[in-house]
Amino acid sequence: MMTVDNLWYLSDVASQEAEQTYHHLLEEYDPAVEFSRHRRVSRPRFRTVAEAARDHGAPYGAHTLVYRPDGALLLVRHEGVDKWVLPGGELDGSESFREAALRELSEEGGIEGTIEGLGLLGRVEFYYDDNMAWGVLPVFETRAETTTPRVADPDQEISDAQWFDELPDDTRDREEIQQWRDRRFR
C-alpha cells in the first residue's frame, strides 16, 4: 500500500492562511519594521509549523516589544534557544493575537501592558526538501503598566525576565528590535 504524503497540500493551505493573516494585520496596523526569515527545518518541525500557520497564520503566535517610558525593553531568557527573546508564544484556543501577546507577557514576564500598535511584522518561511510554507510573526508595541518582572511561565521555558537599556549580544532578532527602538525612541 502506498502512503500519500500531504505535505505539499498542508504547505499550500498554511501559506494561504498566512497570506490572509498578513494582509489582515496590515489593514489593521501600520508596523514600524517588517522583516523576513528563512529556515530549513526537519520534516516533523515543518509539519508542526505548517499546521500552526494553517490554523491561524502564525507558527510562533504573537509577541510583545514591552517598554518603559525611559526606553528600557523587557526581554526574557528562553532556555530552549539559550537567548534573550521578546515575551510571546502560541495562541490558546480562540484567542486573538493581542490577547495571546498580553497573556504571554503576563506569564513570561509578570508585566501588564497596553498594546499601542504593531512594532514588528515578520514573514518566516520554512523549507523541508521541496516544500515551503510560511507564517507571520506579529510583535506588538506595548507600554508597560507594571514594571517589576516576575516569571510564572507554565511551560518552564523562561528562566528570567529583565529590563535592558542596551540589548544583550545574545538577543534573538537583535537587528530588527534595534531598528524598532531607533524609530520609537529617536
Domain at 60, CATH number: 3.90.79.10
Q: At what angle do helices 43-56 and 7-28 cross, to 10 degrees?
A: 40
Query: φ and ψ at 33, to 5 degrees?
Result: -140, 130
Q: Is residue 2 part of a domain?
A: no
The C-alpha cell at 111 is 508585566
Instruction: Give the type of residue at 59.
Output: P
Angle at the Cα of 115 (from 111 to 116), degrees rounded to 5? 135
pLDDT of res. 1: 44
Q: Is residue 1 part of a domain?
A: no
pLDDT of res. 134: 97
Q: Model's pTM, two decimal places?
A: 0.92
Instruction: Flag whether pLDDT at 152 surpasses 90.
Output: no
Instruction: Flag whether pLDDT at 131 surpasses 70.
Output: yes
Q: Is residue 21 part of a domain?
A: yes
pLDDT of res. 101: 97
Domain hosting residue 146, numbered range: 7-184
Closest by CA to 134, choosing from 41, 33, 30, is 41
The tens digit of pLDDT for each residue in 66-120 reads 999 999 999 999 999 999 999 999 999 889 999 999 999 999 999 999 999 999 9
Q: What is the mean pLDDT of residues 36-62?
A: 95
Number of structural domains the chain divides into: 1
The C-alpha cell at 91 is 495562541
Instruction: Give the type of residue at 134.
Output: W
pLDDT of res. 5: 67
